[in-house]
Chains A and B, each alone.
Chain A
Amino acid sequence: MTRDLFYTRVERASYVIILASALVLLVVWVAGCRPAPPTLSPEGKAAFHATRVIQVLDVFRDAAIAANSVTPPIVTTASTREVVLWHKTALKTIAAVPTGWQATVKAGLFELTCHPMAAPLPPPAPPPPCTPRLKPGEVEKLIPYVGLALVVINEVQ
């Protein structure tokens, strides 16, 4: 009985996390999808959009680190390391190819999470078989942040 009560409360706490995350993600998404100023050159617009994408990638990375830092960890250190390493690679790709980084960043995100929006052929095509590098239970906890990143990436393509 006590055990059931505990799990009920944990479930409620999970709902609070999901709702709060959805609210935050909505606001960050609105901010991230603002159009670039029309006075900018194509290179300037690419830099503007890249800055927005880095902000949402940071939110994803920071969520993983925060989830790993609590006791007991919600996301394992191994998975957090995967996220941080992917994030670092993504940023280096954006810096190296400011106008053509999207496919590479999305491919890395697909390998990491198997999110269908990151699949090489987006829906309605069926996503290819995929085993995420993150553990399934941990992918679910980070999926709102992955979705946010993918929405902003798709918006700036």
Chain B
Amino acid sequence: MANEQTVVAVTNAVAVILPSVIALIKTLAAKENPGAPPPTDAEVKAVLASKLMASLAVDDAWLAANPDAPTT
């Protein structure tokens, strides 16, 4: 019983850490190329708009998948 609970606890720990590790890898992979020209205003604003849309889509998807959750 204790072993099963430990396995659940460790699984939970891995499940929580994994998204952070993925975010870390994405951050490192997104590092700019030092030789690349600096981004223009239009490019930076396009990236912002894209990030906003993608992030809001995740919010909406989670809220749609959990419609009955209490709000308090």
Contact = CB atoms under 8 A, between A and B. Distances in A.
Contacts of A63: 16, 19-20
A13 B10 contact: yes
B30 to A, nearest CB: 8
A98 B49 CA distance: 11
A9 B60 CA distance: 36
A136 to B, nearest CB: 15
Contact of B9 (A13, A43, A47): A13
Interface stretch (A20-28, A110-118, A121-129): A20-28
A53 B45 CA distance: 14
A137 B19 CA distance: 21
A13 B52 contact: no
B41 A71 contact: no
Nearest to A67: B16
B36 to A, nearest CB: 11
B5 to A, nearest CB: 5
A31 B59 contact: no
Nearest to B43: A44
A27 B9 CA distance: 26
Interface residues of A, number: 57
B69 A31 contact: no
B13 A13 contact: yes
Interface string B35-72: 00011110011011001100110111011001001111
Nearest to B4: A6
Interface string A21-65: 100100110010000011111011001101100110111011101
A87 B58 CA distance: 10
24 contacts: A10-B5, A13-B13, A17-B17, A20-B17, A24-B21, A27-B28, A31-B27, A40-B44, A44-B40, A44-B41, A47-B47, A55-B51, A59-B20, A62-B19, A66-B15, A67-B16, A78-B71, A81-B69, A81-B71, A84-B59, A84-B63, A87-B55, A91-B56, A94-B52
